[in-house]
Amino acid sequence: MRSADDTVDGEDVRRLVALAIGALRHGDPRLWEARAGTLEWTCWETYEHLAGCLFTYAARFGLATPPASSFLPWREIRDREDGPARVLAADRSSGPDGLLAIVEACGGLLASVARTADPAAVAHHVFGPADPAGFAAMGVVETLVHTHDVAQGLRLEWSPPGDACERVLKRLFPHVTVDRDAWEALLWATGRIALPDRPRLAEWRWYNERSGAGGEGRVQGPGLG
């Protein structure tokens, strides 16, 4: 098992996306239109959002000079007013297997970019510029917590490896004290659950700067960062 001091890398993205997809393949196809956990989105919408996150995170490093201070000008679309904005969509006629294939493909793109990009390159994100390892960590967080959301809607169990949770907490949530199960700590840090000594967060964020920052920051919105 890797040390909790290790960075997050492309192989983490590939491994955890594969684990997430494997867990959700067992879900009832009829439940993909159910609400995803505590989100206002359906399970299908939530996993399309995840695919978009993984894809756009990878795309930032496809430029000769990654944009460190602005977004790429994606055209975002919504199927309904309260639904998530997205830059790509899975063909609904392909069913959940098609959607999972899209997520796997986008995860593979981010994994490859994290492995091959200049480690000193920096690209833009709403929570601060980050290097490829930072975007790999963001992709892992998105995968872990949105799989939690969807698993709730599909009535499945999902419990990812604790070492991965501990490393993304260390990389992106330096303000969070991990004095218990790292998965529970990550769910708390992303506003999913309350803990016995900590109320559920109404607002939260992560910190791309390695030094971190104090406080909980503003809410993580539904956009693609």
Domain ranges across the chain: 10-161
Q: Which CATH number fits domain 10-161: 1.10.300.10, 1.20.120.450, 3.40.50.800, 1.20.1440.230?
A: 1.20.120.450
Cβ–Cβ under 8 Å, residues 187 and 15 = no
pTM of the model: 0.91
Mean pLDDT across the chain: 90
Q: Which residues of the chain have pLDDT under 50?
A: 1, 3-4, 211-225
Identify any residues that bridge with 198 across adjacent strands, giving them in sequence order: 195
**pLDDT tens sequence across 5-39:** 568 999 999 999 999 999 999 999 999 999 999 99
Residue 186 pLDDT: 97
Q: How far apart are CA 19 and CA 11, in angstroms?
A: 12
Predicted local confidence at residue 213, as pLDDT: 43
| Per-residue confidence (pLDDT) for residue 212, from 0 to 100 | 45
How far apart, in whole angstroms, are the C-alpha atoms of residue 191 and residue 53? 19
State the pLDDT at residue 225: 44
User: What tokens appear for 195 in the block?
Assistant: 């803990």
Burial class (CB in 10 A: 0-12, 13-18, 19+), 48: buried
Sequence-ordered list of residues with C-beta below 8 angstroms from that of 62, at least 6 positions apart, any chain: 113
Instruction: Give the pLDDT confidence of 143-155 residue by residue, as tens digits.
Output: 999 999 999 999 9
Q: Which tokens go with 93?
A: 């006629």
